[in-house]
Structure 1
Amino acid sequence: MMHLSLYFTVVAIALLFSFAYSTPDTHKNFVGCLYNYPHNTTSISKAVYTQTNSSYSFTLDFSIRNLRFYNVSSKPLVIVTPLDVSHIQATIICSQRHGMQIRTRSGGHDYEGLSYVAEVPFVVVDLINLREINVDVENSTAWVQAGATIGELYYSISQKSKTLGFPAGMCPPVGTGGHFSGGGYGFLMRRYGLAADNIIDAHIIDVKGNVLDRAGMAKSDYVRDPIPDVGLQCLWPFFYEDEAQAAYVQFTPYGGRMDEISESEIPFPHRSGNIFHIQYGVEWQEEGEEAAQRHVEWIRRVYSYMEAYVSKSPRAAYVNYRDLDIGVNNDGYTSYSQASIWGLKYFKNNFNRLARVKTRVDPLNFFRNEQSIPTIVLKGRK
């Protein structure tokens, strides 16, 4: 099988979250700003949902994949489902003017719900309408918008070619925006690397609303030494507990092409030396906070037990399996040193490079969330 390289449209917005201050009338002024944004190329009115809109709840709930966050009280004041890039630009500009935080949703699979939950007034940018895929068989490339799912990408490729494929994940409903931005591994990883390793161009929207063309571009663990038999034998009793009826531990082997790509090639750093990656998961059908807490505590105990058998200094983690237990930013200013507690686990030495880029392109730290890349404050400034 041959594989495609991808061009990716508005990938950056899938990672952008923002912070600002608001007033009770913020969302009304914000909506007015959206409608009056002078550079909208099409009407935005059919892409805006406030809490009084009859389709608001359906639109919000449609892509909530983690039911822990289905009935939370912190809901977006506004949902925007952009029909084109100008609507994303309008949302970024108007959010800054009117004190709204942005949460951006591609497929809605964030383990911590950060694509549709926040503790401050916020707007959800749902990319559900931006899912166009154009496959160029002759050049073995494709343009993919960030609202498309990986299942839609696979289907589009199969309709054009029986010999081309793309090395991404195994879960068809996962959105390409978040999946590719965090790395994106799958069955073809050892042959072709990650999804992100095969993205050759990206259209990015920055904090000023400019479209840039950038060419060339749960819980988790990484294991660098074999786990002894006794380690695995003592793991099994956890799975006899009541909370483990729908639990799993998934081992994904590394090596091959993953060993050949430098840790600094893209932000994803987990390369040579890793034997395999572990994903821990637990699901439950019981309702109520007490049931949720029991199951969450179960997976925390499993994660704690495995500490002796996985990577150390830091204990590495995969950003697409976001885990707020390993550290979060402050509500206000967060120092680079404090953010490094979680940042080094996800990005290792690339975290410093990411923070420097963040400082250059978003110096006021408008785009942020509980685990967003911090800015580096220059000496004498804060």
Structure 2
Amino acid sequence: MSDPNSAIFPRFLTLFITFLSLSCRANSQSSAVNNILHCLNYGSDPILSRSIYLPSDPHFQSVLRARIKNLRFLNPETPKPVAIVAPTLLNHVQGAVICARDNGLQIRIRSGGHDYEGLSYRSNVTFIILDMSNFRSIDIDIKNETAWVEAGATLGELYYNIGNKSNMHAFPSGICPTVGIGGHLSGGGYGNLMRKYGLAADNILDVIVVDALGNIHDRASMGEDLFWAIRGGGGASFAVIVSWKINLVRVTETVTVFNVSFTLEQGATDLVYKWQKIAPNINEGLYMKVRLTPLIIHNGTRHGNMTLMASFVGFFLGRCDELLSTTDKSFPELRLTKDDCKEMRWVESTLFYANFPLGTPVDVLLNRTRWTPMFFKNKSDYVKKVITKHGLNKIWEMMIDVRRSIGGKFYMEWNPYGGKMNEIPESNIAFPHRKGNVFLIQYAVSWHEDDSNVSFHNIGELRRFYAAMAPYVSKNPRETFLNYRDLDIGQNPSNETSLRAAKVYGRKYFKDNFTRLTKVKAMVDPSDFFKYEQSIPPIN
């Protein structure tokens, strides 16, 4: 007969080791907190009293939650920072970097909190959040057609300030008003002006950053290599972005927008097939994306009680008559009419693209919290060749199958290329996805149930669909957009940046620019202080 204690002892030992590990970690974190508090509170301008939040602070949870957009990472299991530093002065940013580095703490930099994978506010090692949301100054210079905008400002705040100064200027960046400037621009920054003026990152003139040693740099002092890298390569791998100087672009005093939808029974497949040929080659002043959504309906269809809707959402630099002249000639099948057109100022069109009702006052752009957090997972792809009608029909069937399976929303957005995006060389900035693309796909699934089984199932269904899309998208590498962060494509542990592992995701995000990014990293941050699961490692 076996000794019953022989089974108990290993279990006890495991529990004891776990207890010691947790105790050591708690003691280590406590020591780290005490050290960094002493560091931050030392000097002629201590920042402790007004810029740092600890877990014991009654405001800690509200500050942490305020910019968490993905509820998948707002649960007890998600590791929390030992402190949130929300600086208000530039020397506070320097102090936070120096104190974190000297005390062996990882730093996660957060501006808007829209990182799809939550990497700006979570880590599996002891870390602090550097929350840049207090850095939100915007200085518009219409005479010189430039602006300085701080990293914690939102796209909505920038758009409002531009529109308040001029009806004939704009900035080519994204459609979500609550996205933070810091990460959006450093990752590239798509928007409906990209076919005319390129990306947000293509329109950056200067920058202020704090490096891993706590030094402040602008473009002149950092050099062109680092300035190249942080435009599309992700600033969080290299430095803390404090502010950007951007180039404002010219727009017409009146722009026109539209949104027309068709189901499969109304000919959506033929329209989407034609759109692939038209949208990247049409007048560069016209940006027309397609949103594809499986729908449950109650009248009979060939797919049972489901169909698919293709919504053509357009933005045009000019009036409705000019737009109709363009679409009647190049895309008559769309059957666009005057009733479909809405003329407005550019700043008002940013509300339309953000799904605000027509007539909403533009000052809603100043609302930094107008975002309903949800559980979601997103992915992306680039398409190099027009997908055949046969291929489209297979995709529709797969989409409907996924929608039947999940308990939430599922859609794709196809964003057209062409125009300026075909003219800028891949090596011009770190963002490489240029000529040769027909469109960019964003996949999205979202749900509201706070249930780990639902999350697991919905994410699994999206991954299954993504795998099935492989025949229709880019290959070797299968390219991905950095601003649509996706840990599925490869990652390192929180506190490691293996070059071998980084090559897997690095090639997908940056193609041939990845090697240069690792060399820049080695020059400006050889000790690899700025790291996260998909950061750029320094090459040896």
Post-superposition offset of 1:31? 1.3
Corresponding position of 1:153: 158
- Distance in 2 between residues matched to 1:184 and 1:193, nearest whole Å: 9
Unaligned segments of structure 1, at least 5 residues:
1-21, 378-382
Corresponding position of 1:357: 520
Identity of aligned residues (%): 49
Match among 71, 80, 95 for residue 75 of structure 2: 71
Please give the residue correspondences for 1:170-319 in structure 2 after superposition, counting only pairs within 5 Å: 170-214=175-219, 217=227, 218-237=378-397, 238-239=399-400, 240-243=403-406, 245-319=408-482
- Distance in 2 between residues matched to 1:281 and 1:333, nearest whole Å: 29
User: What TM-score does the superposition give when structure 2 sets the normalisation length?
Assistant: 0.64
Corresponding position of 2:507: 344
Corresponding position of 2:66: 62
* Farther-moved stretch of structure 1 (239-248 vs 45-54): 239-248
Runs of 4+ with >6 A deviation: none
Corresponding position of 2:147: 142
Post-superposition offset of 1:331? 5.3
CA contact (8 A) 1:44 1:83 kept: no
Post-superposition offset of 1:29? 1.2
- Distance in 1 between residues matched to 2:47 and 2:469, nearest whole Å: 53
Post-superposition offset of 1:286? 1.0
CA contact (8 A) 2:495 2:531 kept: no
Post-superposition offset of 1:243? 1.2
Corresponding position of 1:31: 37
**Any idea what SS the aligned residue of 2:206 has?**
strand
Please give the residue correspondences for 1:59-138 in structure 2 after superposition, counting only pairs within 5 Å: 59-73=63-77, 74-138=79-143
- Distance in 1 between residues matched to 2:388 and 2:213, nearest whole Å: 52
User: How many residues are paired up?
Assistant: 355
Superposed CA deviations along residues 250-304 of structure 1, whole A, max 9, x for unmatched, are 0000010001101011111000000100000011011111111111111101110
User: What TM-score does the superposition give when structure 1 sets the normalisation length?
Assistant: 0.90
Corresponding position of 2:358: none
- Distance in 1 between residues matched to 2:511 and 2:43, nearest whole Å: 40
- Distance in 1 between residues matched to 2:104 and 2:503, nearest whole Å: 27
- Distance in 1 between residues matched to 2:468 and 2:411, nearest whole Å: 15
Post-superposition offset of 1:204? 1.4
Unaligned segments of structure 2, at least 5 residues:
1-27, 228-377
CA contact (8 A) 1:50 1:77 kept: yes
Post-superposition offset of 1:335? 3.6
Does 1:373 find its partner at 2:529?
Answer: no
CA gap 1:363/1:269 in 2 versus in 1, 3 angstroms: same
Superposed CA deviations along residues 294-349 of structure 1, whole A, max 9, x for unmatched, are 11111101110111100000000001111111111245554423311110000011
**Any idea what SS the aligned residue of 1:318 has?**
coil
Corresponding position of 1:380: none
Corresponding position of 1:9: none
CA contact (8 A) 2:381 2:440 kept: yes
CA gap 1:89/1:132 in 2 versus in 1, 3 angstroms: same
AA matched with 2:457:
R
- Distance in 2 between residues matched to 1:70 and 1:313, nearest whole Å: 35
CA gap 1:279/1:375 in 2 versus in 1, 3 angstroms: same
